[in-house]
Structure formats: C-alpha cells, structure tokens
Amino acid sequence: MAKTRVGIINVTGYAGVELARILCQHPKVQLTSVTGRSAAGQVLDDFFPHLKGAGLNIEARLGEVDVAFSAMPHKESARELLPLIEDGLKIIDISADFRLKDPEEYPQWYGFTHPAPNLLTKAVYGLPELHRDVIKKAHLVANPGCYPTGAILALAPAVKEGLIDPDIIIDSKSGVSGAGRSLSLTTHYAEANEDTTAYALSGHRHMPEIAQELQMLYPGAPLAITFIPHLTPMTRGILTTAYAPLVKGKLADGEKGEEELLELYRDFYNDEPFVNVVTSPPHTKHTWGSNYCHIYATIDHRTGRLIAISAIDNLVKGAAGQAVQNMNLMLGMPETTGLESLAICP
C-alpha cells in the first residue's frame, strides 16, 4: 500500500526540523516535500546533518502532498495555507494562526488582522486529550502552543470537575528553543546561560489560548488567569506549575484529599497514551525527546490550594510530536504511530 505523502512548509526552524526527524522515521507516511525560503536549493541532510538519509531537496514551494504541516511564523502561515485549504488538503498548522476562535484577538495579541476569519470556527484545536473525536474528522487542525499544552493538561481535570475557584496562576519555565532558531540577544549563549528571567508580564500571546480552552471546561464564572513565562538556560523542555484555590468540600481533608485528587487525575487521563500521571514532581528531563506529558497534582493544605505540575518537551509534545499525533488521528491511524520513542536520559 502506498504511503501517505506529507510535506513541511518551513523546515528550517526548530519545529520544522523536529517534524522532519519524526516523519522520516514514521512507518506509514513518506516525507516527500519540504520548503525553506532561506535554504531553497540545498539538500536537507546537508543543511541538517542529523537527518542523514532524508534524501530531499529543500524547495521554495511545496510539492504535491496529501497532508501539509506549516511551521511558518504567525501571520505568514495563514496566508501560505489558504490556497492549500481551498484545494482540500489536510492541514496541521503549528503557528498560532488558527488557534483562537475570536478574530478580534489577533490584532490584540499577534498584531495582525486575520485574513480568513471564517476559517477560525472550522479549525479544530489540536489537543487530542480534549478534542480527539473532532480532530479525526478535521481538515484543518491548529496545533496548540507549547506553553498552552503544558498548562491546559495540568489543569484540565481540576477545571472540568469544578474543583477550583476561577482565580488561576500559571508559572511556566521554558528552554531557549521555544524562542525559535532566529538569532537574538535574549537567547545568545552568553546572555541566556546561567540566567533565568520572567518575561511578558503584561500578557503573553499564549494566554488567550489557555483561557479559551480552559473556559470551555469550566462550568462557572469567567476564569481569571495570570500566566507568567520564564526563560531558563536549557535547550528543551517546559515545566509548568499551576496554582488555584480549591472549592471547599470537593475533596476530603488531609491525605485522603490528596488520594482523591490523584484518582481524579488518573481517571481523566486513564486512556491517554501520552499523558502520565506521576506520584512525584516531574522533571523536564523525564520527557526530553518524547511526546509524553508528565503531570503531578497535589494540595497545599496550609492555603487550601491546588498545585498542578506538568513537564513536556516543547519541541515534541509542545509542537512537532503533537502535530504528528494529530496527523495520525486525521488519517485514521493509531495516534501513537511513529511516536513511541521514550525520553532520552541523561
């Protein structure tokens, strides 16, 4: 049986090249076309020697494919994808261009007017743990951002169950690859090494995405979310710690309440192949190079707060791996296909 032809628009960024790495090893699809404007005409495995044997030229335009991934920057991605959407291709967009349902959010958070607002309601938010059934039927999937993936998965069981009040604080720490491959002073080795800093305190563009998805799960009042990201001196990984007041009476006091919380999280993610509910706080190294999300939830009994912690690899479950997971669902394959690799340690 012929393999499904897949292509990557903008293979030269970190998300794009991670996609290429995973797809080159996928048993059911064939990576047949990759683009990269700055590298057009070069051989993929010369440009990225770790992809030895890929056997592809980097093109200026995407060739004939059945499924297209876009790893273009926001704003540029939507415009690049519109002709492909009109042609009926299955699309997974790794940018933010189809994640938000309200077109008015784009000028505020991304600085542009969306070129096809009518498509925002048709695009499916590609978090399989929440939207698996609709992803299977979708032609346009908006791959979640890296920070939202970790934050939403950490909080979803508690939010859906109504365990917490709507005042949520999310603290996330990311490796420098989350900033992309383009050179900048912020991610220059001498600036980022041995340094940790908070940024986007007035509002990070991933915040409305987090709020949008958690609000769909919340049965009560509008959520009040404070989200503060931090840059840490590591290459990969996001560690998210979320805090929220527990609703009194929802859980038992003391250790019994912790046991009930653990059971609730295990039940919520019972059949999820890429979410592990763990019994001690996870490390980013526990997920390095894998499509897994590790989650730990507990209670601060002194303050009556939920503490929910998640760890992901921002380039895999936070980007390329999740995109392939979505593709598998769209093509009717087991969603774990090509993604079974365990984390790398140390």
Catalytic residues: 146
Residue 19 near residue 324, CB atoms below 8 Å: yes
